[in-house]
Structure 1
């Protein structure tokens, strides 16, 4: 495994974040599946070349986003697949890999553009109102610079569009792909808004009005544009990360005081 030392230049990335990425790489390299047991914290620290404290924080982060399961007295396990993750190969999804994130966003474009198209043709008045309310709530949160509220409204908006498509498989696919994207939010953005939340919210409003007007092609096109905005932000962040890793200082160990602590993860505020 590569050494998880901090970068020397550019935005600071905490040690636990780098170790979390390398732990996901380890799971993929070992072809571990949901339910498989991992080495102990001490064993993982040795494998990854990290301190035990930083490894513990990395495990906490991955457990919080649903990639690991920590069972007291039993050990650390690859988390079981949950709703929307029908293929256990997705347990190897790498949230900070350009290749994996672009594949995810490509899939999301296919699914959500068709979902928006169908919603425009099938949404009833109650569903249209729910979609509009989600979009308006996202704008209110964006204007207040409230990342937590925006994340909730963003999820409600996309779920409402999915519900209005009147296809439980499409709705489930939308929810599943967004759960995976949220893992990238945590590990790439960790509390920073990567773009304009207000731009994303106004895109929500435009999609909502296209659905309300029954303009299926327009709703689909606007959703494609919306996801393209997300893609550009992820691409920029991943390129920044790769550049910073290239500028890393001489091999060392990540600091032991850079974990997320017990206060929980930062808000997921990526424009999505």
Structure 2
């Protein structure tokens, strides 16, 4: 049965052990199972009881894992019909991305590499093309993120963080770049749920300070500086993910022997809401 598993606090300022709820570990195993079985969007999975047997977990823990994966858009639960791999919006690329593994170092690094390419360019264009109203919006979102960080309000920070990056994307005056920013952050949020829930994130104030610096570079029309600052901002996020994934490797294959399921993240009821107060500082 997958239990809440202790994880060493390697590399943290706080050396106390951390624990990963059983449903998070089973959610990882379930995503791996989907990939190993080469299941595609729309394919039906076994019942909760069947999955519990396959994954070596209790039915209660398996149910919570299914809820989490449904909340982040990876599974679809249809009353009276069963559990399915969530439908993609169509196209080969979407089908390939349906196997994105939120806790895989390789996949997360590819995602962050892509994010660096996309968001550095949006920052460059925003600094060159932003209107006075767009500059004000970018700055206001950055200031809101700092206020939330100082108040230690993770939910408010998550909203301000998303608004800031969207505002920079809007100021780049390219709908495809803006949509790409939103899409890549959607995948990153899946990693947030499975890697950061219940754990202290990186410093929100540091991230908010980076937002402000980017906003000022955009306001000043300094395209090269805005690009550099955005690259550094995403590198900070990357270091957080790398640390969390390294810690995950100490989970002894993600399997425990006993224990009750922890409560799922708040996002289990609303996929489009920030996952938890411990959202990554991105």
| Pairwise same-fold verdict (TM > 0.5) | yes
Structure-2 change in CA distance of 1:31 and 1:83 (3 Å): closer
Structure-2 change in CA distance of 1:83 and 1:136 (3 Å): farther
Other structure's SS at 1:203 match:
helix
More off after superposition, 170-179 vs 254-263: 254-263
Please state how far the C-alpha of 1:240 moved relative to its aligned partner.
1.0
Q: Which residue of 1 aligns with 2:5?
A: 7
Please state how far the C-alpha of 1:13 moved relative to its aligned partner.
1.1
Structure-2 change in CA distance of 1:263 and 1:213 (3 Å): closer
- So what's the TM-score if we normalise by structure 1? 0.92
| Separation in structure 1 between the aligned mates of residue 258 and residue 92 of structure 2, nearest angstrom | 32
Q: Which residue of 1 aligns with 2:24?
A: 17
Q: Which residue of 2 aligns with 1:76?
A: 83
Q: Which residue of 1 aligns with 2:227?
A: 220
Q: Is contact 2:153–2:277 with CA below 8 Å preserved after alignment?
A: no
| Separation in structure 2 between the aligned mates of residue 90 and residue 48 of structure 1, nearest angstrom | 23
1:149-160 equivalence runs, <5 A:
149-160=156-167
More off after superposition, 129-138 vs 9-18: 9-18
Q: CA-to-partner distance for each residue in 1:193-220, whole Å, 9 max, x for gaps?
A: 3211000001000000101111111100
Please state how far the C-alpha of 1:49 moved relative to its aligned partner.
1.0
| Separation in structure 2 between the aligned mates of residue 46 and residue 231 of structure 1, nearest angstrom | 35
Please state how far the C-alpha of 1:9 moved relative to its aligned partner.
5.4
Structure-2 change in CA distance of 1:243 and 1:262 (3 Å): closer
Structure-2 change in CA distance of 1:61 and 1:167 (3 Å): same
Please state how far the C-alpha of 1:56 moved relative to its aligned partner.
0.3
Structure-2 change in CA distance of 1:67 and 1:208 (3 Å): same
| Separation in structure 1 between the aligned mates of residue 202 and residue 109 of structure 2, nearest angstrom | 18
Q: Is contact 2:265–2:276 with CA below 8 Å preserved after alignment?
A: no
Aligned length: 267
Q: Which residue of 2 aligns with 1:258?
A: 262
Structure-2 change in CA distance of 1:83 and 1:266 (3 Å): farther
Question: Alignment RMSD, CA only?
Answer: 2.2
Asked if residue 269 in structure 1 is aligned to residue 269 in structure 2, the reply is: no
